[in-house]
Structure 1
Amino acid sequence: MPSPERIMPVAGAPCWVNLMAHDLHAAQAFYTEVMGWEFRDSSLGSSFSVAMAHGEPVAGIGCCSPAGPPAVWTPYFAVRDADETAARIRERGATPAIGPLKLGAGRAGIAADRDGAMFGFWEGPALAWSVGRGSAPARLDLQTRHAFEAAIFYAEVFDWAQPPGGCTVDYAQDHVVIQLAGHTVATLRGGGIETAPDPKIRPRWIVDFHVQDSKKAAAAAVDAGGDSSTMPSLAGSAKDAFIIRDPDGALFTVSDA
């Protein structure tokens, strides 16, 4: 199988999603059963693998210590300088948690924003991948307490709304839409605590994957040791969607393609 294409992603745009699981082989088995993914080795070593769908890269799954932080799906945003990004995060009252560290041909870091939502940043070439296109996730949604305050934070960290060629920010009535070349790459939504269908949901980035049959995927998740619940449809969508927690507790959503 040929290696997936690598590109230099647009600074400020989402460039990948990754899960750090406590048991890599168990996580691969779960997502193979639920999502139908196949896995191949990555260039980052035996503790990291790339999920593939129809021959295209979807996401990464790595392994962390069972005594480490909770498993969580994390979006990564491309940056020109990981050290400068970490400094911006600190200056704005958020918390760099890991790195920046050298990984393969790039450098990566993980941070928590001011409300505690985890996100990553990546400096260097990345797999050819874009939200909502091909086999990549259909949506990245930030559920947070104050969407507009969060938008200011991320815009300052990632230079959103700084032309030319970068991400633009569109403020709607109750949410914020981030676009790249007219294509939505992320949505920031307020009310992450008060209006979430599951009261245990804290402010976080949620990765939504398109599937052919979300009901089937949700049932498979339960059979494989996870949990699922119905997710209210987003405005303008009548498609089925489900919130799924894998056996490690990592939350993601699936919706009909």
Structure 2
Amino acid sequence: MQDSTGDALGAPCWVSLATRDLEAAQRFYAAVLGWTFRPGGLGEGLAVAEVEGAPVAEIGALAGELEVPAAWTAYFAVENADETVARIRERGGTVGVGPVSFETGGRGALATDRDGAVFGIWEGIVFSGWRVGSGHAPAWLELLTLNAFDAAVFYGEVLRWADGPVEISYEDDQVVLRHHGEPVARLNSGPVETAALQPQVRPRWRVHFRVPALEPALEAAEALGGRVMSDIEENASERWAALRDPDGALFTVTASLTHDQPTGRS
């Protein structure tokens, strides 16, 4: 279940949730996303979410300990954490934690980009087969930012996108990151262009998780204290909506139109 970062360099390699109440978070995400859990391998207060025995994400009761808001964080695979941290600082980003070494042999760090969006980097082994957009991994990642093209320059230089198995393309107002030809992340400047007028809207990475059907997931979230934060949106192939879990962490659920037909909810 583990592999080196070589095939994933520059690409998303993991997602984690910092929360305050681990047991409550497990109940919520089990009901909304169908996850099961096992103890994490990086210390107490951590749990690995699984679907059919395959790892999906990690949840840790770290928000209270670190005095940070509950939030999902996307991690990107790098060859050398120290060199990556240096590039982050050189290009105007901020490193909040790390690099930290773990008993598993990996090294990680948490940082913010120039506009304040939090992301993580990881040097070390990754879960083999965990790839955004395939299997039970997240469907995709989305960076809501002030300027997608400026952000692409920052992340491209920091994560060495030009040197790894990833490529970027420019589509309308978005920058699309692909890993082995498949889209794994979108950098989108549309939703926060007026962030200065809306203080509650700030740049962030948002994780999109796939569910079999949209409405049951939304209903389960609300029943357990979560909130639906957006109207249902759709394109030719899927529908999605933003949620906030009971602890305040934002994420998105998405369902294929081939399995979940529109019902008119708004």
Question: Do both share a fold (TM > 0.5)?
Answer: yes
Matched, 1:8 2:4: yes
Kept after mapping to 2: 8 A contact 1:230/1:241? no
How far residue 32 of structure 1 moved from its aligned partner, in angstroms, is 1.1
> Is the 1:219–1:228 Cα contact (8 Å) retained in structure 2?
no
Q: Which runs of 5+ in 1 are unaligned?
A: none
Matched, 1:39 2:47: no
Q: Work out whether 1:60 is the aligned partner of 2:58.
A: yes
Q: CA deviation at 1:63?
A: 1.4
CA deviation map 1:117-142 (0-9, x unaligned): 00000000011210011000001010
Equivalence for 2:80: 81
3-state SS of 2:32 partner: helix
How many Å apart are 1:195 and its aligned residue?
A: 7.0
1:160-199 correspondence runs (5 A): 160-162=161-163, 165-194=164-193
Structure 2 equivalent of residue 222 of structure 1: 222
Any conservation in 2 of the 1:211–1:254 contact (CA below 8 Å)?
A: yes
| Equivalent in the alignment of 2:123 | 123
**In the alignment, is the contact (CA less than 8 A) between 1:215 and 1:242 conserved in 2?**
no
| C-alpha displacement of 1:229 | 3.4
Cα 1:146–1:59, aligned 2, differ >3 Å: closer, same or farther?
same
Greater mean deviation of Cα atoms: 65-74 or 44-53? 65-74
Structure 2: give runs of 5+ residues left out of the alignment. Answer: 257-266
- For residues 190 and 240 of structure 2, the distance between their equivalents in structure 1, rounded to whole angstroms, comes to 19
Name the CA distance, whole Å, in 1 between partners of 2:232 and 2:173: 16
> CA separation in 2, counterparts of 1:238 and 1:195?
29
Does the 8 A contact of 2:63 with 2:69 survive in 1?
Answer: no
Amino acid at match of 1:114: R
Question: What displacement does 1:146 show?
Answer: 0.2
The residue aligned with 2:261 is: none
Give the superposition deviation at 1:239: 2.8
Q: Say how many residue pairs are matched.
A: 248
Task: Decide which of 21, 38, 46 is 1:48's aligned counterpart.
Answer: 46
CA RMSD of aligned residues (A): 1.6
Give the whole-Å Cα distance in 1 for the aligned partners of 2:168 and 2:177. Answer: 5
Normalised by the length of structure 1, the TM-score is: 0.92
Letter in 1 for 2:152: A
